Chains A and B, each alone.
Chain A
Amino acid sequence: MSGISKRQQRLSAVVILLVGIGVAAALGFTAFRKNMMYFYTPSDLLAGAAAEGATLQLGGLVEKGSLRREDGLKVAFVMADCEKQLPVSYEGILPDLFREGQGVVATGRLRVDPATGERSFVASQILAKHDENYMPPQVAASLKTADGKHSCAPFKSVYKPMTAAADAPRS
């Protein structure tokens, strides 16, 4: 006991506290990673990650050229992550930033066609998810507007562990 001063005791108490909380948080958040996710991706829903009819959030990019406007406020479009695509139908007002090629987060439920077994998503609310890139219109126009301009990296699969692709910078 004589070798350890009061100050060293307090120092080790602080260090042990910080390490303990850090480890506890890391374990907890790794175990409950799924619950920290704000939305599922099209890949998740196509892989059967959620039950039909349950209310959930779906996040992805609006596929270019997929938007169809129907009667009144009805719209249909396709949402995609890096791998899979899922048709979405919605009736209501779209957010101002809703664009083809941009991200959206839709609240709604998964629908499985009883005849064909095809999966689609019926949205009751659509929020726009813009990315962290800011630029004037001229710069945006000079960039390639083809696919790949907006990264699908922010749309991480809930059921797969984090992949290298999810962290990779946008091309």
Chain B
Amino acid sequence: MWTWFHRLASPPSFYRFADRLAPWLLLLALLLLAAGSYAGLFIAPADYLQGDVFRVIYVHVPAAALSLFIYVLMSVAAAIALIWRMKLAECAIAAAAPIGASFTALALVTGMLWGKPAWGAYWVWDARLTAELVLLFLYLGVIGLNQAYADARTAARACAWLALVGVVNVPIVHYSVQWWNSLHQGSTILSLQGVMNPKISPDMLWPLLLTLSGFFLFFFAVWLRRLQNEVLLRERRARWVQELIPS
């Protein structure tokens, strides 16, 4: 197990592993997303209060969940990169940040489109919305910092520190609706209580679980592909890359 893990962490074997895995993840993700979108739009019943507007949930909740999940993943990679100086973990930070920023932006935009018809406002400065916006800025900070250094390893270390410091914002985003008064409602499924007893009726829940898992698999597929590119870029002078891509 450990030897397999160690072998996987070496760039060439990771590259081959990702090459085999990514297409299948992407295929499965697209199937789940297609099924989930169809079910969410046409099979799930309309909400008693919000009518069809609530269907934004099928994009908004997965995007928001991923925005937090990717940040946690990035900060775990950051800790590994800082402590063990593992090259693959350094690549993982750089590969994850733009995807995380995209999902955060998607969560914010879908949230605004939901907020206008449901609340009556696109945006308010409550704790949840503000903390999620800060999350977007953290991602953009990591992306910018990564670009600011000529040396990839120095850049990765700077990004790792920023990613680590920013992880404090993740529980703030998640628990903001519990700790403080906000216009945003509490968690429907992504809380301990919500997982045990979802606050959404079963015929609305299963399409959400489909899009949720589809979004997650989609992220992993894209992350693997971006990781492959990062590995290639950083190892471009290594022999295995020269053999793989004859210039």
Residue A160 interfacial (CB < 8 Å): no
Closest to A133 in B: B199
Residue A68 interfacial (CB < 8 Å): no
Interface size classification for chain A: 35 or more
Question: Complex Cα distance A132/B187, Å?
Answer: 6
Residue A95 interfacial (CB < 8 Å): yes
Residue interface mask B55-87, A partner, CB < 8 A = 1: 001000000000000000000000100111000
Instruction: Give the chain B neighbours of A7 by CB distance below 8 A.
Output: 83-84
- Of B102-110, B163-171, B225-233, the segment with at least 4 beta carbons within 8 Å of chain A is B163-171
A127 touches B201 (CB 8 A): no
A105 touches B183 (CB 8 A): yes
Residue A154 interfacial (CB < 8 Å): yes
Instruction: Give the chain B neighbours of A147 by CB distance below 8 A.
Output: none
- Of A47-55, A72-80, A96-104, A108-116, the segment with at least 4 beta carbons within 8 Å of chain B is A96-104
B83 touches A11 (CB 8 A): yes
B82 touches A36 (CB 8 A): no
Instruction: Give the chain A neighbours of B199 by CB distance below 8 A.
Output: 131-134
Residue A33 interfacial (CB < 8 Å): yes
A18 touches B185 (CB 8 A): no
Residue B10 interfacial (CB < 8 Å): no
Instruction: Give the chain B neighbours of A169 by CB distance below 8 A.
Output: 193
Residue interface mask A38-59, B partner, CB < 8 A = 1: 1101000000000000000001
Instruction: Give the chain A neighbours of B23 by CB distance below 8 A.
Output: none
Residue A21 interfacial (CB < 8 Å): yes
Instruction: Give the chain A neighbours of B188 by CB distance below 8 A.
Output: 132-134
Closest to A21 in B: B168
A127 touches B204 (CB 8 A): no
A154 touches B200 (CB 8 A): no
- Of B28-36, B42-50, B145-153, the segment with at least 4 beta carbons within 8 Å of chain A is B42-50
Instruction: Give the chain B neighbours of A131 by CB distance below 8 A.
Output: 185-186, 199
Instruction: Give the chain B neighbours of A41 by CB distance below 8 A.
Output: 181
Residue B2 interfacial (CB < 8 Å): no
Closest to B44 in A: A136
Question: Complex Cα distance A154/B180, Å?
Answer: 8
Extra inter-chain contacts (19) besides given A10-B82, A136-B46, A139-B48, CB under 8 Å: A10-B83, A14-B164, A17-B161, A21-B165, A21-B168, A38-B183, A59-B183, A95-B119, A127-B121, A127-B124, A131-B185, A134-B47, A134-B50, A136-B48, A140-B48, A154-B177, A154-B185, A154-B186, A156-B180
On A, residues with C-beta under 8 Å from B are: 7, 10-11, 13-14, 17-18, 21-22, 25, 29, 33, 36-39, 41, 59, 95-97, 99, 102, 105, 126-137, 139-141, 154-156, 158, 162, 167, 169
On B, residues with C-beta under 8 Å from A are: 45-50, 54, 57, 79, 82-84, 117-121, 124-127, 161, 164-165, 167-168, 172, 176-183, 185-188, 193-194, 199-201, 203-204
Q: List 14 A-B contacts (CB under 8 A).
A: A14-B79, A18-B164, A21-B165, A38-B181, A59-B181, A95-B118, A97-B49, A97-B50, A131-B186, A133-B200, A136-B48, A136-B201, A141-B48, A154-B177
